[in-house]
Amino acid sequence: QQQVKQSPQSLIVQKGGISIINCAYENTAFDYFPWYQQFPGKGPALLIAIRPDVSEKKEGRFTISFNKSAKQFSLHIMDSQPGDSATYFCAASIGSRTGFQKLVFGTGTRLLVSP
């Protein structure tokens, strides 16, 4: 119940295309859903996050779509650029508002944007 399932494992997109990464969860107590971006040799960095009371959040070229009834959320990267090539992790947590949260991460998607 604490798992977050992420797909696909890897993704190749042409420059200018749309990258879509999907995640699904079981635990309805999760109350915070961030996406992290990780470049080789670096730690994960927060990209964008959403709470379950919102169905969509957009920040620049990055959009999270959230479907509470289906217990699924996805990351869309519009106009994908070679600089977006990285590993993307979805995550979910309980207790985020208290500051005492446990982040449960998906298995990661390796995105390659071809020039």
Residues from 52 through 81 that contact another protein (CB under 8 A): none
Q: Nearest to residue 73, comparing CAs of 44, 102, 93, 97? A: 93
Q: Which stretch binds another protein (CB under 8 A): 11-19, 21-29, 59-67, 97-105?
A: 97-105
What's the DSSP call for residue 32? B
* Least distance to another protein, CB of residue 10, Å: 14
Contact 50, 57 (CB under 8 A): yes
> What is the gyration radius of the CA atoms in the chain, in angstroms?
14
Q: Nearest to residue 115, comparing CAs of 72, 74, 83? A: 83
Using rule CB under 8 A, residue 49 touches another protein: yes
Contact pattern from residue 8 through residue 47 relative to another protein, giving x for each residue in contact according to CB under 8 A and a dash for the rest = ------------------------x-x-x----xxxxxx-
Give the interface with another protein as residue ranges (CB under 8 A).
32, 34, 36, 41-46, 49, 89, 93, 96-108
